[in-house]
Chains A and B, each alone.
Chain A
Amino acid sequence: MKVPSALVLLLMIMTASWIILIAMTYLIFQVIVPISPPIHSPYSVVLAYAFLKLILAVASFGFWLYSYFLLRDMFVKVKGLNRSPTPSSSDRTEP
């Protein structure tokens, strides 16, 4: 299969990042944050719900960040960014 150009691949990564951003903000703010215990629950249940929300939010945020690592590593792998030999010694290095 033909490897897309770097620009096209980055446009695809940006689209994926956008979809993930919208999906994860929806999940965190509309699904996890509104979770609340039944009215007049004992303190231990309220605490357990708060703990559950914290764990779900941290897990979602962790997955969110991890997905960006995956996108970056996918690009590096597809484009072989770390594979080729280094340029010749006559090349100048950017300051």
Chain B
Amino acid sequence: MIELFIPIIALLLSYLGSKYLASALAKRGLTVPDMHKPGTPQVPRPGGPAIAFAIVVALDILYVVTGSEEVLALSLTVIIAFAVGVYDDIRSLKGPVKVALLFTASLPILLLHTYVPLPPFPFAGHLRITTIYPILVFLAIPVTSNAFNMIDIYNGLISGFSAIATLPLFVSFLIRGDMLMVSISLIFMMTMLGFYLLHRNPSKLFPGDSGSLAIGAAYGAIAIIGKVEIVAVVALLPAILNAFFVISSVGGIIEHKEMKKRPVRLNSDFTLVASRESDAPVTLARMLLSDGNLSEKEVVYRFFVLEAFASLLAIITFLLTEVRL
């Protein structure tokens, strides 16, 4: 029963840690300009240490209570992805190098063998893919980490998006009666909510790559360890489609700042507008802005609507895994 109180610890650690980090980073001048606001205010970055600290400490308490290797694997995955993110925040890695380094974050799951190569699929029951499953695990963490990293573009987006995306996983674990995974998914959700309180518009702290990569790795690892892979894929459809549209537009994995043409432009009244240049990357934000100018808050709200819809589809997907044709 104590497992269900640990998420509250994660919420407090995330919120208080973020608050402390924001002030400590500001004092040391570790800030970046928020270009979407009048006067381009300086915002502390990275908030990744507060996110990783909250998740890892809460998971370590859960490990002490349960002794579960799944919790240990998840904790190590987050630490490795966070370390890659810290290096990226300091040195700014090239896209392919970042992906290559993130493969190492899959290793704790593979080495501790905390996966079951029988993923449930709608209408098909449990698939027996023992040979290719470890390869999919190896690929999954870099994919989810980068998908989250690519939507970290507006105030409050990645933290709010992640909290909503965790709901279908939480519901799936609850229906299945897997209380360990219920606790783990709640720890993740509460960490995101704690961080969201400082990350929401107007942001007082940006997650940085250390935050976004740790969030993506944690999400991917929860999906694998909790055996809800297809549910997670559906819940992440907006992020996956965004990544697919960007990669197919620019012809590879590149950093935001490396894009030659901007997908979205900023007006003098600080509203956002979609680029009409034919060779600008097709991103989800550009698509959402195709009707006309919107404020940053309005774009983020539309992202949340998309994610809430994807989460609903994900819950339906989970229910369909119980159906066999």
Mark A residues whose CB is within 8 Å of B.
5-7, 10-11, 13-15, 17-18, 21-22, 25-26, 29-30, 33, 68-69, 72, 75-76, 79-87, 90-95
Query: Given A14-B306, A91-B268, A93-B265, A72 and B234 touching (CB < 8 A)?
Result: no
Given contacts A26-B121, A82-B277, 20 further A-B contacts (CB under 8 A): A5-B291, A7-B302, A14-B238, A14-B241, A14-B309, A18-B234, A18-B237, A25-B122, A26-B325, A72-B248, A79-B287, A81-B282, A81-B287, A83-B276, A84-B276, A87-B276, A91-B265, A92-B265, A94-B264, A94-B266
A–B Cβ pairs within 8 angstroms, 21 of them: A5-B291, A6-B287, A14-B241, A18-B234, A22-B317, A25-B230, A26-B123, A30-B325, A33-B127, A68-B241, A72-B248, A75-B282, A76-B282, A79-B287, A81-B287, A82-B278, A84-B276, A86-B277, A87-B276, A91-B273, A92-B267
* Cβ distance A94 to chain B, nearest Cβ, rounded Å: 5
Q: How far is the CA of A92 from the CA of B273 in the complex (A)?
A: 10
* Cβ distance A34 to chain B, nearest Cβ, rounded Å: 10
Residue from B33, B238, B266, B290 in contact with A92 in the complex, judged by beta carbons closer than 8 Å: B266
- Are A79 and B276 in contact, with the CB atoms below 8 A? no
- Are B230 and A14 in contact, with the CB atoms below 8 A? no
Residue from B127, B241, B268, B290 in contact with A17 in the complex, judged by beta carbons closer than 8 Å: B241
Q: How far is the CA of A10 from the CA of B260 in the complex (A)?
A: 25
Judged by a CB distance under 8 angstroms, whether B110 is at the interface is no
Query: Given A7-B302, A94-B264, A25 and B121 touching (CB < 8 A)?
Result: yes
Judged by a CB distance under 8 angstroms, whether B313 is at the interface is yes
- Are A21 and B268 in contact, with the CB atoms below 8 A? no
Cβ contacts under 8 Å, A68 to chain B: 241, 244, 248
Judged by a CB distance under 8 angstroms, whether B305 is at the interface is yes
Q: How far is the CA of A22 from the CA of B245 in the complex (A)?
A: 20
Q: How far is the CA of A6 from the CA of B273 in the complex (A)?
A: 13
A-B interface contact total, Cβ < 8 Å: 117
- Are A14 and B265 in contact, with the CB atoms below 8 A? no
Interface residues of B in 242-278 (CB under 8 A from A): 244-245, 248, 257, 262, 264-268, 272-278
Interface size class of B (residues with CB under 8 A): 35 or more
Judged by a CB distance under 8 angstroms, whether B8 is at the interface is no
Judged by a CB distance under 8 angstroms, whether B157 is at the interface is no
* Cβ distance B225 to chain A, nearest Cβ, rounded Å: 20
Q: How far is the CA of A81 from the CA of B289 in the complex (A)?
A: 9
Q: How far is the CA of A72 from the CA of B234 in the complex (A)?
A: 18
Mark B residues whose CB is within 8 Å of A.
33, 35-36, 121-124, 127, 129, 230, 233-234, 237-238, 241, 244-245, 248, 257, 262, 264-268, 272-278, 282, 284, 286-291, 302, 305-306, 309-310, 313, 317, 320, 325
* Cβ distance B61 to chain A, nearest Cβ, rounded Å: 36
Q: How far is the CA of A74 from the CA of B55 in the complex (A)?
A: 41
Q: How far is the CA of A21 from the CA of B241 in the complex (A)?
A: 12
- Are B234 and A21 in contact, with the CB atoms below 8 A? yes
Cβ contacts under 8 Å, A15 to chain B: 313
Cβ contacts under 8 Å, B35 to chain A: 94-95
Cβ contacts under 8 Å, B124 to chain A: 25-26, 29-30
- The CB with the most chain A CB atoms within 10 A, among B36, B257, B264, B275, is that of B275
Residue from A7, A69, A76 in contact with B305 in the complex, judged by beta carbons closer than 8 Å: A7
Residue of B nearest to A78 (CB): B290
Query: Given A29-B121, A81-B287, A90-B268, A72 and B306 touching (CB < 8 A)?
Result: no
- The CB with the most chain B CB atoms within 10 A, among A6, A33, A82, is that of A6
Q: How far is the CA of A7 from the CA of B291 in the complex (A)?
A: 9
Cβ contacts under 8 Å, A10 to chain B: 284, 287-288, 306
- Are A86 and B288 in contact, with the CB atoms below 8 A? no
Residue from B122, B282, B286 in contact with A22 in the complex, judged by beta carbons closer than 8 Å: B122
